[in-house]
Amino acid sequence: MDPAAKQKVIYITYLIAALEITWMFLQFSITPYLARRLGFDTIWFGYLQTTVGVIQLLGGPIYGRFADIFGARAALSVSCGASVFYFLPLTVADSPFMLFVHKLPAVFMHALPGAQMVVADLSEKEKRAEALGKLGLCFGIGMIAGSSLGGTLSTRFGERFAASFGAVGSFVSLMLVLNFIPKQTKTQTTPESDEKGSSKSVFNMGEITRLMKFPGVAKTFTVKIISGLPTGIFQVMFSIIAMNFFQLKAEQNGYLMAYFGIVQMVIQGAVIGRLTSSFSENSLLLLSVGVSSLVGLAQALMTNVFQFCFIVIPMMFSLSVFNVITDSMLTKSVSPADTGTMLGLCASVQSLLRTVGPTIGGFLYETYGVPSFGYIQCVINAAVFGLLLTTGGRSQTHRP
C-alpha cells in the first residue's frame, strides 16, 4: 500500500480499537454489580476474574500466531465476533453459573492486540512507539464512553439492556473490520523460521516460544511481568475497592472511570509522542518504573476517592509509558513477520496478571486492606528500578 492508504487503515484501526474498548468498559461497569446481585462475595468475584485471566492467557499467544499466519483482518474479525457472543449470555444471566459461562468467548477476545498488530505492520519502525501510543488515546476514549454508557444504562435500564447494547456495538465493530481492514497488512508475510521448513500451525508452541530467545526479549518480558504485577492486582480489584472502600454506586464508578479515560487521553495524545521523540526507550522505561514506585506509596497512604483522583495522574502516566515502551521494544526485537506473535505474548502478560491478580488481591484485601496494594507496588518497582540501573537500564538521555 502507498503511505496514504496505510494511514487511512491506521485511522480506521484506531476507530475500531476505540469502539472495542468502549464495549469492554461497558461490560466492566455491568459485571461487578450484577455479580453482587447474584450473591458473589469478594472471593468469588476474584475467581470470576481469574477465570477470564486464564482463558485469555491461553488464547493470547495463539491469537498472535493466528494473526501472523492468516492476517490481522482475520484476527480482528475473530475478536469482534467473540465479543458479540461474550455479551449475549450476559443479557440472560440469572445465576452465578451463567456469569462464568459468558466469560468463555474471552479466549478469542484480543481486540487491542489485534489493533496493535495492524499499527505495528503499517507504521515505520522509528515511529512505532508514537503510533502505538495513539492506541492508548483510543483506549482513553473507550474508557470514557464505555464507563459512562455502562453506568448510565445499567442504572436506568438494567444490566441486561446494557449487555444487549454491547452486543450490538460489537457487531458494528465486526462490520468495520470486514469492510475496511485489508486481508494482509504485512510487507513480509512468512516468518523466517517458516521459510526454513517449520510448521505453519497456529498451535506450534515452538514457533511462539522461540521469540523469547531473541536478544533483550527475555529481560524486557521479565520486567513487564514483575513490574506490572502490583498494578495488575490493583486494577482487577478496583471494582471491589470502588464499591466497598470508596462506597461508589454504579453511576459514580462510571464517572470515575471516565476521569481515568480523560487523563489517559491527555497523556497519550500530548505527552507520549513528545517523550518518545526526545528520549531513549531505556530512559523512558526507567522513568515509568520509578514513577510507579512513588505511585504505590501514595496509594498506600490515600484515605478517600478525592485523594485517589490526584494519584490517578502519575499512575496513568507511568502505566501508559510503561506499556507503550515495552510493547515497542519487544516488537522491534523480532522480524516484521513475527510482530503478531510477539504482541500476542505481550497480551498474555496482561492475562497472566489478571489470572494471579484476583487470588492475590482478594487475599490482600481481606487480610491487610487497601494500603497493602500500594506498599507492594512501591517495594517491587523500587527493586526493579534498582535492577535496571545496575544492569544497563541507564542510557543516553537524548537520542543522537
Position 188 confidence tier, pLDDT thresholds 50, 70, 90: low
Please report, rounded to a whole number, the percentage of residues in the chain having pLDDT higher than 90: 18
Inside any domain, residue 198: no
Cβ-based neighbours of 274, under 8 Å, separated by 6 or more: none
Nine cell digits for residue 185: 497488512
Residue 195 has pLDDT above 70, yes or no: no
In this prediction, residues 219-242 reach a mean pLDDT of 84
Residue 49 has pLDDT above 70, yes or no: yes
DSSP letter string, 235-247: HHHHHHIIIIIS-
Residue scoring higher pLDDT (90 or 49): 90
Domain span at residue 58 reads 3-182+209-390
In this prediction, residues 142-162 reach a mean pLDDT of 83
Residue 336 has pLDDT above 80, yes or no: no
d(CA 81, CA 265): 27
Inside any domain, residue 41: yes
Inside any domain, residue 312: yes
- Contact between 142 and 19 (Cβ < 8 Å): yes
Position 198 confidence tier, pLDDT thresholds 50, 70, 90: very low
d(CA 265, CA 263): 5
Inside any domain, residue 154: yes
Determine the Cα angle at 220 with ends 320 and 311, to 5°: 30
Inside any domain, residue 202: no
In this prediction, residues 208-231 reach a mean pLDDT of 82
Position 203 confidence tier, pLDDT thresholds 50, 70, 90: low
> Cα-atom radius of gyration of the chain, to the nearest Å?
20
In this prediction, residues 187-207 reach a mean pLDDT of 53
Residue 77 has pLDDT above 50, yes or no: yes
In this prediction, residues 334-356 reach a mean pLDDT of 76
Q: Three-state SS for 272?
A: helix
- Element spanning 18, H or E: helix 3-37
What pTM was computed for the model? 0.70
Please report, rounded to a whole number, the percentage of residues in the chain having pLDDT higher than 70: 91
Q: In this structure, which amino acid lies at residue 261?
A: G
Nine cell digits for residue 314: 502519575
d(CA 171, CA 193): 36
Tell me the CATH number at 139. Answer: 1.20.1250.20
pLDDT score at 182: 87
Position 22 confidence tier, pLDDT thresholds 50, 70, 90: very high
Inside any domain, residue 13: yes
Residue 395 has pLDDT above 50, yes or no: no
Residue scoring higher pLDDT (105 or 40): 105
In this prediction, residues 210-228 reach a mean pLDDT of 83
pLDDT score at 39: 79
In this prediction, residues 121-134 reach a mean pLDDT of 77
Number of domains in the chain: 1
Q: What length is written for the chain? A: 400
Position 207 confidence tier, pLDDT thresholds 50, 70, 90: low
Give which of 393, 143, 394, 392 is closest to 258, Cα–Cα.
Answer: 143
- Contact between 23 and 87 (Cβ < 8 Å): yes
Q: Which CA distances in Å does 13 have to 130, 131, 178, 342?
A: 15, 11, 12, 19
Burial 277-304, CB ≥16 within 10 A → b, else e: eebbbbbbbbbbbbbbbbbbbbbbebee
Residue 69 has pLDDT above 90, yes or no: no
Highest mean predicted confidence (pLDDT) among 27-36, 177-186, 342-351? 177-186
Q: State the DSSP code for 398.
A: B
Position 193 confidence tier, pLDDT thresholds 50, 70, 90: very low
Inside any domain, residue 400: no
- Contact between 96 and 38 (Cβ < 8 Å): yes
Inside any domain, residue 192: no
Q: Three-state SS for 39?
A: coil
Does the CA dihedral 32-37-43-48 come out positive or negative? negative
Phi-psi region of 204 (alpha: psi -120 to 50; beta: other; left: phi over 0): beta
d(CA 368, CA 266): 34
In this prediction, residues 30-58 reach a mean pLDDT of 77
Residue 23 has pLDDT above 80, yes or no: yes
- Element spanning 324, H or E: helix 305-332
d(CA 10, CA 181): 9
Torsion of CA 32, 36, 41, 46, to 10 degrees: -20
